[in-house]
Amino acid sequence: MSTMTTRPGLAPRLAALTKIVELGPGRLEPKLLAEASTLLKRAGERLKLSSEHTVVALAGGTGSGKSSLFNAVSGLELSPTGVRRPTTARTHACVWGLEGAGPLLDWLQIQERHRFTRASALDRGESQLHGLILLDLPDHDSIRALTDNEADRLIGLADLVVWVLDPQKYADASTHRRYVTELAGHDAVTVFALNQADKLSPEELAELVIDLNDLLRREGVEHPTVVPTSATTGRGIDSLKSVVAAAVSRRRAAIQKMEADLQRLEQRVAKSMPVGEALSAPSTVDDARRLGLTDALCDAVGVPAVGEAMENVYAERSMQWVGWPYPRWISKLRPDPVRTLRLQDVGDEIRGITTGTVSAQTAEVVNAVQALADGLSADMHPVWRTSLQHAARSHLKQLPQALTEELSEVAPRLDHVPGWWWLLKIWQYLLVAAFVLGLGWLVTGLLFAGQSPAGFQLLGDTAALPWVGLMMASVLGLGVLSGIAARNFVELGASKERERLEREMRRRVAAVAESSVVEPVESELGRHHAFYTAMRALAG
């Protein structure tokens, strides 16, 4: 037994449908997803079974003459025909060439006692039918058929369906409404046998054939194949056999049936979820949107405020080291500006900034996340737009706390004292010592002019006092200049420290945004792109 060989294009379309079924839950209607899953299962099972056999089902309503036509085509009295109330209760199968057909008949669930074989088919000149499995289905409008749905099941499984219609009920609503209107695109695997033609005159039959063709075209069957038959007289039986034999010899009916089923399903899915410009939607979060989200979240948690506080504290603390001592000593007579700013512990202050306004942050965080989702989903189908927004908000409740915890770990490096601070402080205290020494010299020279202690004649030398004054002025000048230079360097250092802190905080905010917002969103964008890529592949 050989398995079905598919033409190029069918396998990718089935793979695309598999992807749609995988991504469809929550987006496609459950009924449509169930039908797609059923089709995939049916196609997969049929492709594994014999490609040398073609399953042809005779379907029709009560009294249409299906069983009589089945017997006429097979040339044997295999299926019982009713007298008072013609009806078929169980499916009968006639096989032309039994080898390899067993698994296929098992899949069709045909009972062993209802299987028949035409072993002598070659002797009867019917080699063109070799590989045919002809089914006589239960009447689709009988009470029994309505209870076990065997007719509906086998109509879906058959490779080719021959609808047997009678002159009285050829336009019967139960057939056309339930079945014929669903056959759009199935022209190649659907045949209409207008049975009991012997009951009509040639003119009536011709008119009926034209009317039936028109009716079928109005219902979506673009190229209907109508064969007038009579099981009683044998009229049209050979024509019907020729149509069936052509399908059997091509070994293509099963593939054509799958293609038609796929086409019909694709149209329904496309109607529910049109492709349109869906593939033009972004499939990833671009750098600009990532940056925008990080900026918005940084504003939401007060990163600029923390940076500014850090810069102020850095500047104030550094002045204790590198400021000109005299102004600093004088400033101690006033309240400590650090205490006034309540920035004794910048780590605590930063934690206060990031945790003290959590309730106010939440709205800003929500707005930032919502803006990202809205920008990405603007052109999406409403179902996918909602799905993307859910993905963006999937960690929203934990996001403020996650940002708070990350930023609370970022502490200013207040215990770090740059080496140049030490050097400048030593230098400034040397200048202070020089000024004090000069002041002592000047006082001593003025008080003890000409009366210097032994060995310290220079202290009493009044001629040196101007030079001492000049030295003191120079020391003060150097002190002021070094203080001004230190202030400039401190401001530059404070700015760099703020940049370092904000950069580290931004890095942490970006990391939280990536894991809590961007990754779920990109995952959903990937599903959206994969879904519509599969939709396009399904359309062929």
pLDDT tens-digit readout, 71-101: 888 877 665 554 444 455 688 999 998 888 9
- Which of the four pLDDT bands, split at 50, 70 and 90, describes residue 24? very high
pLDDT value, residue 84: 42
Query: Mean pLDDT lowest for which of 177-181, 245-249, 287-291, 511-515?
Result: 177-181
% pLDDT > 90, the chain: 32
Q: Phi and psi for 59 in degrees, rounded to 5?
A: -125, 150
In this prediction, residues 486-493 reach a mean pLDDT of 71
The share of the chain scoring above pLDDT 70, in percent, equals 73
Most confident of 56-70, 83-97, 476-490, 519-533: 519-533
Name the percent of the chain in helix, strand, coil, to the closest 5.
65, 5, 30
DSSP code of 516? I
Q: How far is it, in rounded angstroms, from Cα 538 to Cα 381?
A: 19
What is the pLDDT confidence band of residue 338, given thresholds at 50, 70 and 90? very low
For residue 64, name the pLDDT band (cuts at 50, 70, 90).
confident
Kind and range of the H or E run holding 134: strand 132-136
Mind listing the pLDDT tens digit for each residue in 102-111? 999 999 999 9
Local confidence band at 360 (pLDDT 50, 70, 90 cut-offs): very low
Residues 6+ apart with CB under 8 A from 150: 90, 91, 137, 138
Give yes or no for residue 313 having a pLDDT over 80.
no
Under DSSP, the state recorded for 278 is G
pLDDT digits 0-9 by tens, 398-454: 888 888 777 777 755 555 666 666 777 777 778 777 777 777 766 666 666 555 554
CB 74 within 8 A of CB 94: yes
| Weakest-pLDDT range from 164-168, 314-318, 349-353, 503-507 | 349-353
The full DSSP string for 76-106 is S--S---SSS----S-EEEESS-TTTHHHHH
Summarize the confidence of residues 38-66 as an average pLDDT: 90
pTM: 0.74
Distance CA 385, CA 528 (A): 10
- pLDDT tens readout for residues 120-142: 544 455 678 889 999 999 876 65
Q: What is the mean pLDDT of the chain?
A: 79
Confidence band (pLDDT; 50, 70, 90) for 353? very low
Tokens standing for residue 35? 């039908």
The mean pLDDT value for 258-266 works out to 90
Helix, strand, or coil (residue 219): coil
Residue 431: closest CA among 487, 475, 472: 475
Burial class of residue 343 in the structure, from the number of CB atoms within 10 Å of its CB (0-12 exposed, 13-18 middle, 19+ buried): buried
